[in-house]
Structure 1
Amino acid sequence: MSDPIFDRTMAFAGILQAIAQVQYVARHGSTDSEQLAAALNSILVTNPDNTADVYADKVALNKGYQLIINQLGDDKSKDVEVTRYLVGILALERKLARSSNALGMLSERINQVDRQLHHFEITDEQVVANFAGIYSDIISNLGPKIQISGNPEFLKQPQVQQKIRALLLSAMRSAVLWRQLGGKRRHLVFARKSIVDIAKKSLTL
């Protein structure tokens, strides 16, 4: 049986991996296609046998583990923007968990995207747009919108907006999983050292 703290740390790395990409896309207008694919694929694994099934691309999680070390560790390289996005995602996840109507719609829409993948790659613009639509229609309306900072020239481009929303949906997927695995915000304070230690061990060199 897997270790609950190990699994929770993996899911938390998933949240931060997606947030890191949101930040990168907002600043640079693009992102690594393999990282994007890894983040989006996690949304589609809705009934995993174990946590590792959600994150097939372990190398992509490295960014998330590194951010855990940066954000929760003792060094001074904490990113307030990452923290702000994280707080926003966790707040929206609590509202989602309380809305059976939103959860039902979310499941139905994700299944529709899954069927679309018979014809398209997961990073295809049309698929990304559909993920973005799920976030806009279901998640974004649950509470205060997350204000994204970045390069205004990129942020006004529809494709950039869609990538950001699709990645926020990926962050939400990992936040739901983290909560299902028993993750609570107090763990980020009281179990901080254990989480950082696991992140260091989990980094794929």
Structure 2
Amino acid sequence: MSHNLENQTLAFAGICQAAHLVQQVARQGSIDNKATLTATLNSILVTDAEQTADVYGGQDQLTLGYQTIVDQLSNKSARKNAELTRYLVGIVALERKLAKRQDLMAMLGERINQVKRQRHHFELLDDQILASLASIYSDIVSPIGPRIQVAGNPTYLQQTPVQHQIRALLLAGIRSAVLWRQLGGKRRHILFARKQLVARAQSALRK
């Protein structure tokens, strides 16, 4: 299996992991695994990694993402989730629109650099950082549409910290979608190369 497909699958696992965490926080109000949450959100700020896996702090930080690929794309899977698929499709569609807007991409880069500077004073999961990441998504990404409608428990969805986490995670999904496209990932691969994606994800889970 080619090294490029391995990296494409890794980046796609990043998209899947972000989408899965969006669903989890929308339904439960919190994320069970803080290390997974941290790796996913930190990927937004890693813009000069030498290797693809370094964006996430190593391949082992994407276990949830790889498992989501297997669950969502495997023909035999009984764990397919239409809501999760909708998030994945929405993230990829938004990134495609964003990629055509160099002005917005430049703004995105500048705003991310501002958050990097904030990180000198705050932890990644601090409310201040989450609010800053959420505002990048709200100000730059979401308006280009179509908007991703997140379903979940209304009690949690009305809470500002939960809203910030969801938007920050959607931004992380966009970041992985940018990486996936840069590595040659295309929407048709989700349909026509799903066997290869699943096989690669299963291989990564066995390591």
Q: TM-score normalised by the shorter chain: which range applies?
A: over 0.9
Deviations 1:37-77 (A, max 9, x none): 11111001112222111110433311110010111112232
Which piece of structure 1 moves more, 48-57 or 123-132?
A: 48-57
Which piece of structure 1 moves more, 73-82 or 102-111?
A: 73-82
**RMSD (CA atoms):** 1.2
Match of 2:43 in 1: 42
Match of 1:61 in 2: 62
Do structure 1's residue 201 and structure 2's residue 192 form an aligned pair?
A: no
Partner Cα separation in structure 2 for residue 9 and residue 127 of structure 1? 28
Name the count of aligned residue pairs: 204
Q: Report the TM-score when normalising by structure 2.
A: 0.95
Match of 1:122 in 2: 124
Partner Cα separation in structure 2 for residue 178 and residue 30 of structure 1? 27
Partner Cα separation in structure 2 for residue 110 and residue 164 of structure 1? 17
Partner Cα separation in structure 1 for residue 182 and residue 128 of structure 2? 30
The alignment partner of 2:175 has SS state of helix
Instruction: Give structure 1 stretches of 5+ with no counterpart.
Output: none
Deviations 1:16-57 (A, max 9, x none): 111111000000111132122111110011122221111104
Match of 1:11 in 2: 11
Do structure 1's residue 143 and structure 2's residue 106 form an aligned pair?
A: no
Instruction: Give structure 2 stretches of 5+ with no counterpart.
Output: none
Give yes or no for contact 2:16–2:68 (8 Å, CA) kept in 1.
yes
Do structure 1's residue 190 and structure 2's residue 192 form an aligned pair?
A: yes
Q: Report the TM-score when normalising by structure 1.
A: 0.96
